[in-house]
Copies of this chain bind each other. A is one copy, B any other.
Amino acid sequence: MKPSIPKGTRDFGPIETARRNYIFDTIRKGFRLFGYTPIETPAMENLSTLMGKYGEEGDKLLFRILNSGDYLKDVSSEELLQKDSLALTPKISEKGLRYDLTVPFARFVVQNRNDIQLPFKRCQIQPVWRADRPQKGRYREFFQCDADIVGSDSLWNEVELLSLIDEVFKNLKIRVAIKLNNRKILTGIAELIGESNRITDITVAIDKIEKIGVEKVCDELLSKNIPQEAVDKLLPILQLTGSNSDKLSQLAEVLKDSETGLKGVEELKWVVQRFDALGHSSLLDVDVSLARGLNYYTGTIIEVKALDVQIGSITGGGRYDNLTGVFGMPGLSGVGISFGADRIYDVLNQLDLYPASVTESVKVLFLNFGEDEAAEAMKLVKQLRENGVSAELYPDAVKLKKQMAYADALKVPYVAMIGETELKEGKLQLKNMSTGQQQSLSFNDFINDWGKNDI
C-alpha cells in the first residue's frame, strides 16, 4: 500500500515546520507584548455549539465526528430507509471539529463567565477545519491566530489591534496596507439609497472600481435592478478620493442625513487619527467597499493586504456587539482580529523573508570514529548543550563520506572530529563547513572558547 493523507491537508517537514513556528512565535510575541492572554479550547465542540453560527453554507462545511460505539442503535429502520444524509446526521453525530476560533471563544466566555475578569483580552493560536473544496491556498486544516477583547466598547481597543497588526507585520518584515471600514457607514449608505438589503451587491460593485472604472460599476448596479436614482446618490461614494481624512469628510457630507452613517464616520475618523498620532509603519486605507462578515460585524471592519504579493487578505477582523448573545449572555461588545498564518506563510515563502537562524540545524555535529572516540565526543556534546549550544553525535561509526553527506544535507555549520590520534592528544579538529577552514583545538579550549572565536 502507498500511504497518503486526506486531500486538503498537509504534512510539514522540518524546514516548513521551523518556518511556521517562526510565524507563530512572532505573532505570540506580539500578543504577549500587548497583554492578550492565551487560551485553548478543544478541537471537538458539540454540534449544538457550532450549528447555525456560520450560515447554511457553513453548517455544510463542518467536519462531523461519528458517535462512538453502536451509533445506529437508536435509529429506526424507517429513518434509515429514507437515505436522507442530512436528516440522519444529527442522529449519528453529536460532535464536530471547530470551524473557527471565534465561536469557541464566545462559548468559552459564557461557560467561564464567573472566572473571567472583564474586559477580557484573549489570544488563541489553534488549527480549524473546514470541509471546503481544496484549492490553491485553501486547506481543510489551517491555523488561526486570534486576538479579541470583550467587555469594552472603547475605540482604544481598535487602535490597539491596529497597532498589534503593525507590530507583527513589522517584525515579519511584510509590508502591508490595513483597510478600514465601519458597518455603520454601510448601514448609512443603505439608508441613503433606500436599498438596505442590497448592501452586498453594492459593496461588491464598489470593490471593482479600480479594475473596471466608475461607469461600468454604475452599469452593473443598474443591471442588478438598483434604481438610477439610488445609483446617482451613490456616485459620490464611488468616487471618494484623496487622503483618509478627505474621504471621511466627503463621506460625512454624503451621509449627513443618516445618524448611523455619521456615527460610523465619526468612529472611523477617531480610530484613524489616534492610530496615526502614535506613528506606525503600516498605512491605513479607508475603504467603504470592505464588508467582510457583514452580518457579524457591527462597527469597525479591518482587513490587511500584503503590498508585495498578490494574495487575499492575510488578516482580518472587526467589532461585534452581540457575539455571546446566542449563548445566553447578551450585551457584551467585543472586537478582534485573526491572523491568517497559512497565508502569511505563503507570503513569507514567496518573498523569502525568513531569518537564516529559523532553519538552522544543530551547531556542531561530532563525527563517529568508533566507540571510545564517540564516548569522548559525547562528553563534549553534553558540555556544549549545558552551555546552550545544540550539538549531536553521528550515531553510527560508518564511512566518513556518509557522515559528511549527512552534515551537508542538514547544513550543519560546524563538524567536529575526534579520531584515534585526537583522542590520545585530547584534541579535536573543528571544521567550519561554509568556509572549509579547519583547526585543531584542545577539548578545554573548544568548550571554553566556543562562541568567542568561531572560526
Contacts and interface: CB of A to CB of B under 8 A. Distances in A.
Nearest to A402: B118
A140 B21 CA distance: 26
Interface in A3-17: 3-6, 9-14, 17
Nearest to A118: B406
Contacts of A85: 69-73
A159 B378 CA distance: 10
Contacts of A451: none
A88 B72 contact: yes
A140 B390 CA distance: 35
A108 B131 CA distance: 23
Contacts of A328: 1-3
A415 interface: no
Tell me the number of copies of this protein: 2
A320 interface: no
A428 B44 CA distance: 48
Interface string A142-173: 00000001001110110110010001000000
A404 interface: no
A142 to B, nearest CB: 11
Interface in A21-38: 21, 32-35, 37-38
Contacts of A115: 13
A238 to B, nearest CB: 34
Contact of A40 (B20, B46, B385, B405): B20
A393 interface: yes
14 contacts: A5-B45, A6-B44, A6-B95, A12-B39, A14-B37, A14-B39, A14-B122, A18-B37, A33-B391, A35-B391, A37-B361, A43-B97, A117-B405, A154-B368
Interface of A: 1-6, 9-14, 17-18, 20-21, 32-35, 37-46, 48-49, 60, 63-66, 68-73, 75, 77, 80-81, 83-85, 88-89, 92-95, 97, 107-108, 110-112, 115-117, 119, 121-122, 127, 129, 131, 140-141, 149, 152-154, 156-157, 159-160, 163, 167, 274, 277-279, 327-328, 361-362, 365, 368, 374-375, 378-379, 382, 385, 388, 390-393, 395-396, 405-406, 409-410
The 6 closest A-B pairs by CB, nearest first: A9-B42, A14-B37, A35-B392, A154-B395, A35-B362, A117-B409
